[in-house]
Structure 1
Amino acid sequence: MVKDECKTLLDALNKVSACYRHLVICVGGTSDSQNLREELKKTRQKAQVLASANKNKLTTILKDKTISKDDRAEFERLWVLFSTCMEILEIDMRRALDLGQEFPLNVPTKHLIQTGMIGRTSAVAARAISVQNMKYEEGNDIDTIDLNELEQDISEVGEMIFEMEMKVNVLQWTVEAKQEPGTELKSTVSAGASSLGMISVHGDGNKKLCDTNKVFAGAMFSAVLIFAIVLAVCIVKFA
């Protein structure tokens, strides 16, 4: 039951983090707006809440010495996934800070990046956060205020990552993957093997054809050579 709860929390964090990354790409682009900055803030806060919940639950479980070896291996795998997700989230938050500082909302449109992203982004954010929580403050300039809050949030995420490493000593390179390496590529490999088989069949046919051509070319060359010798003898004899 606890394992399922951890997986559910981690899955939710992954989805919200992916949503946040999508929104960050739009900062400074033609779809940038007050609403986008609000969505970024809401999504970031949701990710932090989920990250804190993941950290607390996984930390408590992994510090328990009574769990079985198999369960510990599974929770360590979830811990590695969680740590990776946190590192990616921190990178995206730093990218959002850099872009937000580089492209304030009051800049002329001609200075915006032509990212190819157009239209509203609320549909994307709604996949991770319920629409009723997205309440925009139309008259409030969040440009400078939110960047200051973002800097503080980045610091808190960094502290969370450091605290995770101090409380739970899980060496990522010692954690075994749940699936064998390349499992997801087996279908591709099978398809490739079938293609190679077909190439092999065609290759055998081509080889036989090539051998026949070589015999024919050798016979023609021999006939031409004999004809040239006979012709030369005749010329010498009747000269």
Structure 2
Amino acid sequence: MGKDECKTMLDALNKVTACYRHLVVALGSTSDSQNLREELRKTRRKAQELAAANRTRLTASLKDKTTTKDDRVEYERLWVLFSSNMDLLEVDMKRSLELGQDFPLKVPTRHLIATGMTGSTTAVAARAMSVQNMKYEADSNVDTADLRELRTEIGQVSRMMEEMEMKVQVAPWAVEAKQEPGAELKSNMSVGDSSVGVISICDEEPKEDEAGEREAGSGTFCAVLVFAVILLVAGVLGYLVVSMS
């Protein structure tokens, strides 16, 4: 149950951090609004709560002397995934800070950026945090307060990562992956796509044979032509020799 619990918690963290990244992309776009900023704040705090829970659970499991060798290998793999997730979260939080500074909501004539994002982003955050119909009250000082909180939280995430590395000595390069690179993509290929690929390959093979036959025919014609020219030159030379004698 320990490993299953860790996997479940890590999966929840992955979903929330992915949601946060999706929301960050909308900053400064036509989808930017006070609701978006509030959703970003709620989502990143939810991610930090899950991160703290994951860190506590994984740290306890890795420091447990009774953990079997096989279980420790699995916990180390989860730890590496967790660390990578935290790195991405910190990067997105810093990006959110920069965009929030460049595109303050209180400036009505700001220049929007073309992100391709349109419409409301509330549903995305709601699905990630299991909350429906998220609505927030207006706050005239939302920019200043939120950016100040965001700076503080970025520092907290950085310190959390430093403490993680000090408490648990896990070398990422020493952890072996359970699947080969690209295994996820291969497993997602449908049978129909595979059939189409096979059909395409089968269709291409006769074309290659036909091309080979054409090349072989061209080579034979060239050889005959060269041989005929040689015979003609030999005949002319023979006639000249006979005439001169």
Secondary structure at the counterpart of residue 28 of structure 1: coil
Paired amino acid for 1:220:
L
Paired amino acid for 1:212:
G
Identify unmatched segments of 5+ residues in structure 2: 188-192
Q: CA RMSD in A?
A: 3.0
Q: Distance in 2 between matches of 1:198 and 1:210?
A: 19
Structure 1 position 236, deviation (Å): 8.6
Q: Distance in 2 between matches of 1:176 and 1:17?
A: 24
C-alpha contact 1:33 1:105 (8 A) present in aligned 2: yes
Paired amino acid for 2:114:
Q
Q: Distance in 2 between matches of 1:182 and 1:136?
A: 42
User: Closer, same or farther in 2 for the Cα pair 1:228/1:109, shift >3 Å?
Assistant: farther
Q: How many residues align?
A: 239
Paired position in structure 2 for 1:74 = 74
Structure 1 position 183, deviation (Å): 3.4
TM-score scaled by length of structure 1: 0.87
Return the match for 2:222 from 194, 217, 220: 217
Q: Distance in 2 between matches of 1:60 and 1:120?
A: 40
Q: Aligned ranges for residues 87-98 of structure 1 at < 5 Å?
A: 87-98=87-98
Q: Distance in 2 between matches of 1:124 and 1:53?
A: 23
Paired amino acid for 1:33:
S
C-alpha contact 1:90 1:157 (8 A) present in aligned 2: yes
Structure 1 position 233, deviation (Å): 6.0
> Are residues 1:11 and 2:11 paired?
yes
Give % identity.
58
C-alpha contact 1:26 1:117 (8 A) present in aligned 2: yes
C-alpha contact 2:23 2:36 (8 A) present in aligned 1: yes
Paired position in structure 2 for 1:102 = 102
Q: Distance in 2 between matches of 1:5 and 1:196?
A: 45
Structure 1 position 127, deviation (Å): 2.0
User: Closer, same or farther in 2 for the Cα pair 1:102/1:162, shift >3 Å?
Assistant: same
TM-score scaled by length of structure 2: 0.85
Identify unmatched segments of 5+ residues in structure 1: none
Secondary structure at the counterpart of residue 111 of structure 1: coil
Question: What are the superposed Cα offsets for residues 140-174 of structure 1, whole Å, 9 maximum, x if unpaired?
Answer: 43111000000000011011101111111111111
